[in-house]
Amino acid sequence: MRFDPKGVLHIQLSNYAFAIDEKTLCIRLRVAKDNVKSVTLFYGDTASRTSLVNFTSIKMNECASDESFTYFECLIENSYQRVVYYFEILDLENKNHYYYADNFYKEVSENRNDLYKFPYIRKEDVGTPPSWLKNTTFYNIFPDSFVSRKRKGNKVLNVNGCEIKNKLGGTIKDIISKLDYIKDLGFNGVYINPLFMANEYHKYDVIDYFKIDPLFGTNKDFKNLVDEIHKRDMKVVIDLVLNHCGWYFFAFDDVIKNQEKSIYKDWFYGLRFPIYRPKTWEEIPPYDAFGYERNMPKLNTDNEEVIEYFKKLVNTLLTEFKVDGFRLDTSDEVNDYFWICLNREIKKVNKEAVLIGEIWENPEHWLNALMFDSAMNYELRKTMILFFKEKINVEELKNQLVKLYFRNKKQYAYSLLNILSTHDTPRFYSLVDKDNFKYKAAYSLLYFLPGSISVLYGEEQPVEGIKECDYRQAINFKKKLRFADFFKKINEIRRDNECLIDGSISINVENNILKIEREFNQKRLTLLLSGKYGKSLEIDNSRIIYSSHYSFTHHKLESFGVVILA
């Protein structure tokens, strides 16, 4: 096979060349699949005082392949602060190709300025998500719906002329009452959707960012909730809505009253005077809003006063209430400068606090030392849905998992928030047509991949639903929770096996079975997952620490069966 130069890719200062810490660089190269024998990295000190750079060679590891490409990777440990480098590619015909500056050459230039460079490893630019994040499995709570209080539901309060509503009547005290239950399921973190005073039951149209919604409780209740979570050695992340606010947020209310004379008119985006609150959902509002939601005006997050207001908010939440971090709603619609400013403020107060972006597309742009530690891994969720709805096969699943892993810097692949169901999406159980085996296989795979995990309340029941009115229903604690023991088991496996937190990963397909291996400190776990068609396995049953839809007698994985081997 002839060498295919079009398949080769390396990008400086990207997910192909990045610092893991102040002394370690990770370098990657992509080539056409099954097209090269080996790749060698040559690196040296850019600031070397010798006329010619003294290069050190590292044979790069062939890590994984998708349907089109193979990915090579290596670590430069005890690295120089400034690194100059190039690649030597050995093709299948035993010909060498030198690759640098995005081109191929017959020989290596003696001028170091012609080669690839990592200009300087600055500690400020090394993205290092707090280590506790990758260790955390979050139980995600939608406050109004987690525990149903029907006698307290569908309530309307009038607070200073503003109507605030609930639907199912859940409160902060209800969450506190279930913390031991959550802990017993094996979760070590709680992620809570918005709690601040707002008009609608979902609380994404905030009126007062410094006051807990009275239908949920008080600021004192919230402080007590955080304290009780911490007493159980658990972390707490809360949902912040900073892209937009509610109709009766004080600044927007002032714009309505004073129009162009309002001192807050620059706090909002796309104002087209006169400003008013449309009476029907069909009418396009005279201001930019969240989507088409007329009651959620978009904030101008490039305005310094807005930035200072929200810096004060996060400071208060970190110092007075001691939360451990924030999930940032609609974060991909907010300007980078705002997130950089907020990140600076948050890390100044608490370096271990996390910022998790709500991003439905490729999150690479936001995952760095300047902005976010993590993002909701919706792209992984999309892939899982395709596979478990039988739209793609095992090989295609493997290819997608490989692509998703290599498009992020390594440290962020291990900090992404992996999800299957969220408060914004249909329940995964309903998406797979209530297939118990698919459901358990999907969560087993989710728990086996690098990253932190968020499990929406009620998955242990499981709560069902495709429409919002259904998938935000409360848990019925009076009935047996069918998957409670399952979540206890996979949480236990993850907790007791460090290789599922920090371990390396290999993703392959053998005999039409997905095979994922995680290894750390000479300990390895292996996950085997079948697709639509069952497969016989040649394995020692005594190695199995978990299985679903597997025949011990016949050594066979049935349809969408899974085993985890020690």
Q: How far apart are CA 201 and CA 140, in angstroms?
A: 17
Query: Percent of the chain, pLDDT > 70?
Result: 99
Region label for 301, one of left (φ > 0), alpha (ψ between -120 and 50) or beta (otherwise) = alpha
Strand duo 189-192 + 235-240: pairing: parallel
* R_g of the chain, CA atoms, integer Å: 26
Give per-residue pLDDT as tens, 223-256.
999 999 999 999 999 999 999 999 999 999 999 9
SS3 44: strand
Give per-residue pLDDT as tens, 117-140.
999 999 999 999 999 999 999 999
Give per-residue pLDDT as tens, 358-368.
999 999 999 99
pLDDT band at 149 (very low <50, low <70, confident <90, very high): low
Give per-residue pLDDT as tens, 158-171.
998 899 999 999 99
Angle at 141 between CA 234 and CA 301, to 5 degrees: 95
Reply yes or no on whether the pLDDT at 281 is more than 90.
no
pLDDT at 154: 86
Asked if 72 and 31 count as a contact pair (C-beta separation under 8 A), the reply is yes
Give per-residue pLDDT as tens, 45-100.
999 999 999 999 999 999 999 999 999 999 999 999 999 999 999 999 999 999 99
Reply yes or no on whether the pLDDT at 151 is more than 80.
no
pLDDT at 150: 66
Give per-residue pLDDT as tens, 428-465.
999 999 999 999 999 999 999 999 999 999 999 999 99
Both structure tokens of 421: 């169901």
Stronger pLDDT, 535 or 149, i.e. the higher one: 535
> 493-520 as b/e, with b when 16 or more CB fall inside 10 Å?
bbeebebbbebebebebeeebbbbbbee
Q: How far apart are CA 559 and CA 88, in angstroms?
A: 44
pLDDT at 331: 98
Reply yes or no on whether the pLDDT at 18 is more than 70.
yes
Query: Percent of the chain, pLDDT > 90?
Result: 97
Reply yes or no on whether the pLDDT at 218 is more than 80.
yes
Q: How far apart are CA 508 and CA 520, in angstroms?
A: 18
pLDDT band at 322 (very low <50, low <70, confident <90, very high): very high
Q: How far apart are CA 450 and CA 405, in angstroms?
A: 9
SS3 479: coil
